[in-house]
Amino acid sequence: MKPQEIRFIRRGQTVTLHDVPPDRTLLDVLREDLACTGTKEGCGEGDCGACTVVLGEAQGDTVRYRAVNSCIRLAHSVDGMALWTVEDLAGTEGGLHPAQEAMVQCHGSQCGFCTPGFVMSLFAMYQGRVCHGEVITRAQAQEDLSGNLCRCTGYRPILDAAQRMGDYPRSVVDEPALRAQLHQIALPAATTNPDAGYCAPRTLGELLQLRARNPQAQLVAGCTDAGLWVTKMHRQFDHIIDLTRVAELRRIERYPHHIAIGAAVPLADAFAALVDDRPQLHAFSARFAGLSVRNSGTLGGNVANGSPIGDSMPLLIALGANIVLMSARGHREMPLEALYTGYRQNVMAPDEVLAWIKVPLATPDEFLRVYKISKRFDDDISAVCLAVRLGIAQGRITSASVGVGGVAATPVRARRTEAALSGQAWTQDTARKATAVLRAEFQPISDMRASAAYRTEVLGNLLQRLWLESQGVQAINLESWPVTAGEVV
């Protein structure tokens, strides 16, 4: 099975690579084949951001810039895109790009190992925000740099640099010329060789036929999890099917009662759609990994992965989301929580793919909260995740939906807790009784992130917090919750 070529735009030229194995990472190709050693290899799992590069895709009459982790991104996934590494930013006469100049002037680098990754994230911010007249706020800089770690400089000067980029002479990409080049190297629809090692179908029909023909092929989207199997577990894949080029699965469609999010929609865009309907989800969505992971990873991939500590699933369960599974034989729809049968196991047949996530729209009587407990605020994995959606009318709970992560082998629905809440008056006594039910409903394990006792205790504490917030309490004070004998708050 001969690997097909990869073509992308770099420095205004078309780069063509031949004989690249389907499971070779973009970082390896950059450093070992193209001698782009400015892109650093740090963690090899998308946590540190030292390997950050920027990808560009034509979207209508604009170019969308995304900072991504090259260490877990498969090289073939950039076929048909534009690519920038840190070597590509300086001007032809050696002048620094505003992102680089700001880092120098703000003293944003010491050892320098993380600096190329920060610069590339700043470049994406510059192209996507500063060039469109947006003023970078401190909060926005912190969110956009959440996927980049620095262990010696400290973040203050780097955040200063993010806000200072607009102070220097403009440096802009010639987008009309770039879009023309991207159009020239774009593959026409339905040209994927079904026997190729790396298949990137362009239509849903083509994807389903490929899947039916080769149900053992590894499905990938952003590779933010499958990439770890390559870098950390040294797994090899002879045949890969990439969903991210399927036009139908890259759409977000709004209907009268729900939003339909295609499985190949990047997490950044999927969360933006959810936040547009429910603004209170912004802080939670910004804590899902770092921006570079959200730019690559997809909502469908996170759901299909089925990790018990995947952050999107407890939220989607609480929102009453359904999923649509498709194959050449037809399709079927089910509640999201019905997908899972065990640890990273699900009901999908070998020829099926997860195609859509359907999320009900917010209702006027809805009270929603989602809490993530982790050791770091940004770019960290949950120890516990709790999402609660209550319908409250005239002081009574008309509906209750509770999703939980980190307490079982799969993301789960807290059905007993829902029963304890549904139909009850929304009072402190009801919240207290539901807290006891929630703490008793699961038997979590102890691991490196938290002990079982901690997880159980925190679950109840979060429900108590939800009650206090529903009463308008902004700063949580434990004295607001009377403690009975033997109770720990």
The residue range of the domain holding 431 is 366-480
Checking if the pLDDT of 214 tops 80, the result is: yes
Domain membership of residue 326 (yes or no) is yes
Could you read off the pLDDT of 220-233 as tens digits, one per residue?
Answer: 999 999 999 999 99
Instruction: Point out the domain boundary residue: 129, 156, 183.
Output: 183
| Cα gap 347→51, rounded to integer Å | 36
pTM of the model: 0.93
Same domain, 338 and 370: no
| Cα gap 284→313, rounded to integer Å | 13
Same domain, 179 and 214: no
Contact assessment for residue 249 and residue 202, using Cβ atoms and an 8 Å cutoff: no
Burial label for 271, CB within 10 Å (0-12, 13-18, 19+), is: buried
Checking if the pLDDT of 471 tops 80, the result is: yes
What CATH number has the domain bearing residue 171? 3.10.20.30
The structural domain count of the chain equals: 3
Same domain, 354 and 437: no
Same domain, 270 and 406: no
Same domain, 14 and 135: yes
| pLDDT band of 482, cuts 50, 70, 90 | very low
pLDDT score of 46: 93
Tokens of 87: 């070597």
pLDDT score of 1: 42
Contact assessment for residue 110 and residue 91, using Cβ atoms and an 8 Å cutoff: no
| pLDDT band of 92, cuts 50, 70, 90 | confident
Could you read off the pLDDT of 337-388 as tens digits, one per residue?
Answer: 999 999 999 999 999 999 999 999 999 999 999 999 999 888 889 999 999 9
Q: Which residues of 23-46 are buried (b: 16+ CB within 10 A; e: fewer)?
A: bbbbbbbbbeeeebebbbbbbbbb
Q: Kindly tell me the sign of the dihedral angle through the C-alpha atoms of 114, 116, 121, 125.
A: positive
DSSP element (H, E) containing 208: helix 204-213
Checking if the pLDDT of 98 tops 70, the result is: yes
pLDDT score of 69: 98
pLDDT score of 487: 40
Domain membership of residue 331 (yes or no) is yes
pLDDT score of 3: 52
| Cα gap 269→245, rounded to integer Å | 15
Checking if the pLDDT of 266 tops 50, the result is: yes
Contact assessment for residue 267 and residue 297, using Cβ atoms and an 8 Å cutoff: yes
pLDDT score of 489: 35
Average pLDDT of the chain to the nearest whole number: 93
Domain membership of residue 303 (yes or no) is yes
Query: Residues of the chain with pLDDT > 70: what percent?
Result: 94
Nearest to 120 by CA among 220, 28, 186, 27: 27
Return the DSSP state at 288.
B
Contact assessment for residue 330 and residue 324, using Cβ atoms and an 8 Å cutoff: no
Query: Residues of the chain with pLDDT > 90: what percent?
Result: 89
Contact assessment for residue 170 and residue 131, using Cβ atoms and an 8 Å cutoff: yes
Same domain, 445 and 355: no
Instruction: Point out the domain boundary residue: 128, 154, 183.
Output: 183
Same domain, 160 and 208: no
| Cα gap 303→336, rounded to integer Å | 8
pLDDT score of 480: 45
Checking if the pLDDT of 402 tops 70, the result is: yes
Domain membership of residue 379 (yes or no) is yes
Could you read off the pLDDT of 291-331 as tens digits, one per residue?
Answer: 999 999 999 999 999 999 999 999 999 999 999 999 999 99
pLDDT score of 215: 95
Could you read off the pLDDT of 449-469 as tens digits, one per residue?
Answer: 899 999 999 999 999 999 999
pLDDT score of 93: 79
Domain membership of residue 120 (yes or no) is yes
Could you read off the pLDDT of 141-195 as tens digits, one per residue?
Answer: 999 999 999 989 999 999 999 999 999 999 989 999 999 999 999 865 444 566 7
Q: Kindly tell me the sign of the dihedral angle through the C-alpha atoms of 36, 38, 44, 49.
A: negative
Contact assessment for residue 201 and residue 210, using Cβ atoms and an 8 Å cutoff: yes
Dmax (CA) for the chain in angstroms is 74
Same domain, 238 and 162: no
Q: Where are the alpha helices (DSSP H) in 85-137?
A: 98-105, 115-128
Average pLDDT over residues 51-56: 98
What CATH number has the domain bearing residue 296? 3.30.465.10
Nearest to 320 by CA among 289, 360, 376, 380: 360
pLDDT score of 94: 80
Same domain, 325 and 424: no
| pLDDT band of 4, cuts 50, 70, 90 | confident
Could you give the C-alpha distances from 151 to 121, 292, 293, 360, 376, in angstroms and in order? 17, 18, 20, 42, 14
Domain membership of residue 191 (yes or no) is no
Same domain, 229 and 297: yes
DSSP codes joined into one string, 7-74 = EEEETTEEEEE-S--TT-BHHHIIIIIS--TTS---SSSSSS-TTEEEEEEEETTEEEEEEEETTSSB
| Cα gap 276→279, rounded to integer Å | 6
Domain membership of residue 485 (yes or no) is no
Same domain, 172 and 217: no
Nearest to 153 by CA among 113, 94, 123, 126: 113
Average pLDDT over residues 398-402: 98
pLDDT score of 481: 46
What CATH number has the domain bearing residue 407? 3.30.390.50
Q: Where are the alpha helices (DSSP H) in 232-369?
A: 267-277, 282-286, 291-296, 299-305, 312-318
Q: What are the φ and ψ backbone dihedral angles of 330, each rounded to 5 degrees? A: 145, -160
Domain membership of residue 328 (yes or no) is yes
Nearest-5° Cα angle at 176, 170 to 181: 120
Same domain, 410 and 466: yes
Instruction: Point out the domain boundary residue: 183, 209, 236.
Output: 183
